[in-house]
């Protein structure tokens, strides 16, 4: 009785039947989930044990996604090979594989370009996970931390917690500035202007004093005169900071402090203004002179 039940159950698993094909599909799907989870777990454990940072995080994350896609492709191929109907269909499709590949290539051109660009980013490594980069996006100049590099897109986290998602092919062909590629230390440049009547040495001393009192300034570089403008003397205060995020805050703080201190010390930060000189035209001058003569003769 038990043997008959086993034979009946096995007959239901036969790939020629609909029930067997459906059961095998569920088993293959469960197997793919287990393999993908085990693979991701193994990569995560390797990353956690790599305390010396010898393995590139971005490459490991990208290759884990590629391996997961490869696992599902293999499972799909094995399943198609086990099901006779699908196996015959795949054999028939091989006759027109060149046409199918051209159609698929044209339809997925941008997807394939993003995937190849992702491989190029992994190979050339212009940036890594956690690097702060600056680039031009449709929203303007964006600065953010590289959060993830997927098969098609790169995700940046900005300072205001936005996610800027850029396709790999676009970011590969974009001129970017890696602010933390070698060393995160960066120079903060604080521009300010004073009037021509103001004391340059006094303004410089105030700016250097404020920079020295700021707790996030690591080193003061200089405060030179940069330009004699149309209505002002333009100067730059230059200081070293620990990283670009701190430099942005230091620049804002020192700009406000310089404005308040200059107001208290009576140092003018001039508005842009122009002197307009109006000259009288020769014809207009002659008519004015004739009118004046007529007035004199009437008197």
pLDDT tens by residue, 238-276: 999 988 888 889 999 999 999 999 999 999 988 876 777
Q: How far apart are CA 295 and CA 299, in angstroms?
A: 6
**pLDDT range class, residue 91, cuts 50, 70, 90:** low
* pLDDT above 80: residue 206: yes
Strands 163-167 and 186-194, by their bridges, are: unpaired
Residue 282: the pLDDT is 59
Query: Is 80 exceeded by the pLDDT of residue 10?
Result: no
The answer, yes or no, to whether residue 132 has pLDDT greater than 70, is yes
97-116 pLDDT per residue, tens: 555 555 555 555 677 788 78
Mean pLDDT of 128-146: 83
Pick the CATH number of 186-265 from 3.40.50.1820, 3.40.50.800, 3.30.70.100, 3.40.50.11720: 3.30.70.100
pLDDT attached to residue 239: 95
Residue 263: the pLDDT is 92
Q: What pLDDT score does 1 carry? A: 46
Instruction: Pick the range with the lowest mean pLDDT from 112-121, 210-219, 252-261, 276-285.
Output: 276-285
Mean pLDDT to the nearest integer, 170-176: 84
User: Taking the domains of the chain in order of start, what are their residue ranges?
Assistant: 9-91, 126-178, 186-265
Identify the pLDDT of residue 18: 65
- Spell out a b/e string for 153-178, using b for 16 or more CB atoms within 10 Å of the CB, else e: bbebeeeeeeebebbbbbbbeeebee
What average pLDDT does range 138-167 have in this prediction?
Answer: 85
Q: Are 220 and 246 in contact (CB under 8 A)?
A: no
Position 16 pLDDT exceeds 70: no
pLDDT of residue 138: 75
Higher pLDDT, 6 or 120: 120
Residue-wise burial string across 110-142, b where 16 or more C-beta atoms lie within 10 A, e elsewhere? eeebbbebbeebbeeeebbbebbbebebeeeeb
Q: Is 158 left (phi over 0), alpha (psi -120 to 50) or beta?
A: beta
Q: What's the pLDDT band for 235 if we cut at 50, 70, 90?
A: very high
Read off the pLDDT band of 83 (50, 70, 90): low
Tell me: the pLDDT tens digits for 42-51? 777 776 776 6
Task: Say what the pTM is.
Answer: 0.52
Q: If you average pLDDT over every residue of the chain, what do you get?
A: 77
Options 2.30.30.60, 1.20.58.1610, 2.60.40.10, 3.30.70.980; CATH for 126-178 is: 2.30.30.60
pLDDT at 234 over 80: yes
Q: Which of left, alpha, beta for 53 (phi over 0: left; psi -120 to 50: alpha)?
A: left
Q: What pLDDT sits at residue 19? A: 65
Better-predicted residue by pLDDT, 286 or 152: 152
Question: Tell me, what's the pLDDT at 290?
Answer: 57
């Amino acid at each position: 009785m038990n043997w008959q039940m086993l034979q009946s159950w096995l007959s239901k698993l036969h790939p020629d039947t609909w029930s067997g094909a459906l059961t095998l599909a569920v088993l293959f799907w469960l197997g793919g989930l287990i393999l993908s989870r085990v693979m991701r777990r193994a990569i995560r454990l390797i990353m956690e044990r790599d305390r010396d940072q010898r393995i590139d995080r971005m490459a490991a994350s990208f290759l884990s996604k590629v391996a997961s896609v490869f696992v599902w492709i293999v499972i799909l191929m094995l399943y198609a090979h086990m099901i006779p109907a699908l196996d015959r269909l795949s054999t028939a499709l091989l006759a027109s594989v060149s046409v199918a590949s051209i159609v698929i290539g044209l339809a997925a051109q941008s997807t394939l370009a993003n995937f190849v660009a992702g491989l190029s980013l992994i190979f050339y490594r212009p940036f890594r996970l956690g690097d702060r980069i600056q680039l031009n996006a449709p929203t303007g100049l964006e600065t953010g931390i590289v959060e993830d590099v997927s098969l098609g897109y790169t995700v940046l986290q900005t300072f205001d917690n936005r996610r800027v998602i850029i396709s790999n092919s676009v970011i590969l062909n974009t001129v970017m500035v890696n602010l933390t590629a070698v060393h995160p230390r960066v120079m903060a440049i604080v521009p300010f202007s004073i009037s021509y009547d103001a004391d340059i040495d006094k303004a410089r001393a105030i700016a250097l004093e404020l920079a020295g009192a700021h707790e996030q300034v690591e080193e003061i570089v200089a405060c030179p005169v940069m330009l004699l403008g149309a209505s002002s003397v333009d100067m730059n205060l230059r200081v070293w900071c620990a990283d670009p995020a701190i430099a942005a805050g230091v620049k804002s703080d020192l700009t406000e402090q310089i404005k308040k201190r200059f107001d208290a010390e009576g140092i003018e930060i001039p508005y842009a203004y122009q002197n307009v000189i109006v000259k009288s035209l020769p014809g207009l001058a002659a008519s004015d002179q004739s009118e004046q003569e007529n007035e004199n003769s009437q008197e």
